[in-house]
Amino acid sequence: MKKFMSGFITGTAMTVATIAGAIYGVKKTIVEPIEEKEQQIEDNRKKAMRKSRAR
């Protein structure tokens, strides 16, 4: 029974680590580039508003 529990706990920990790694990878490859692009667009809007008022 001791071997079973040890294996079960190890397997559970590995599964959790794999899922966490997959979520982190998706965040890095999909979510962050979208957020960076949105921030860049917002910065460009702010610059355009400043330029239009300066003229």
Q: 53: pLDDT confidence band, cut at 50, 70 and 90?
A: confident
CA 45/CA 37 separation, integer angstroms? 12
- The whole-number pLDDT of residue 55 equals 62
CA 14/CA 27 separation, integer angstroms? 20
Number of helices (H), then strands (E), in the chain: 2, 0
For 2-50, the pLDDT digits (tens) are: 999 999 999 999 999 999 999 999 999 999 999 999 999 999 999 999 9
Enter the pTM of the model.
0.67
Please give the helix or strand (H or E) that residue 3 lies within, else none: helix 2-26
CA 42/CA 11 separation, integer angstroms? 45
The average pLDDT across 49-53 equals 88
